[in-house]
Amino acid sequence: MNTITIVPIRAFQDNYIWCVRTGAVAVVVDPGDAEPVLEYLSSEKLQLAAILTTHHHGDHVGGNTRLLAKYNVPVFGPAREKIPGITRALKEGDTIEVPGVGLTLGVLDVPGHTAGHIAYYGEGVLFCGDTLFSCGCGRLFEGTAAQMHSSLAKFAALPGDTLVYCAHEYTLSNLRFARAADPDNPALDRREASARAALAAGHPSLPSTIALELAANPFMRGGDPAVAASASRRAGRALSGSVDVFTTLRQWKDSF
């Protein structure tokens, strides 16, 4: 039986298009650019079996049309967003059998970055698009802070050893903000050391894990007294709960 592996295909400045492969079959997640995907499939002699998308931004779906011109494959994506070539519209509670690779994934609605953003979770892996980043989270382009806070809470409830496949290489830049928001957290030193070692070796700093994010990501640590106190100092007032803390952190990060 073939083993599933998940490898990054680099695109643009800092995007990762995740390729789930087994044997001679591959599935790609959020192919914003077709060219590196086509090059990878050709060099590895792989046949594309499906496209998974998390949200509608061009750097996540821009390659769909060109890939579909070469491969007649299903396209999975959020029901509440317009996705090029979509054949299966998904919402929270849906489950998919990812064609060709033997992977079963459930769907979570995780609005905040966009209004209809979804994530795929199952068998110990999470494809979270631009909702969760290592030591950070997505900007609020269409959703609200309360929505993003709720979305991150769904991730926080997953098993700690869940592998988190974010769509951008933002770890080191996010760590700079995390140190401002949570300066006495020793987990940040460990995360930075592991990220720098991976990047120096030519590898992504990803995947992360849910446990790592709960330890080091200030956006998932709003209930921690140190993070809440830091956010309160930034706001210049007492904050009234975890959503208020999150809102302050996100606004702080936007101008950091």
Active site residues: 55, 57, 59-60, 113, 130, 168
- CA atoms in the 13 A half-sphere facing the CB of 115: 5
* Structure-token match 């995947």, residue found: 207
The residue length of the chain stands at 256
Q: Which two tokens stand for residue 105?
A: 């994934």
Contacts of 14 (CB under 8 A, 6+ apart): 168, 169, 170
CA dist., res. 88 & res. 212, Å (int) = 32
Residues 239 and 248 sit within 8 Å (Cβ to Cβ)? yes
DSSP 218: G
Residues in a beta bridge with 127: 120, 165
> Which of 218, 229, 133, 211 is closest to 178 using CA atoms?
218
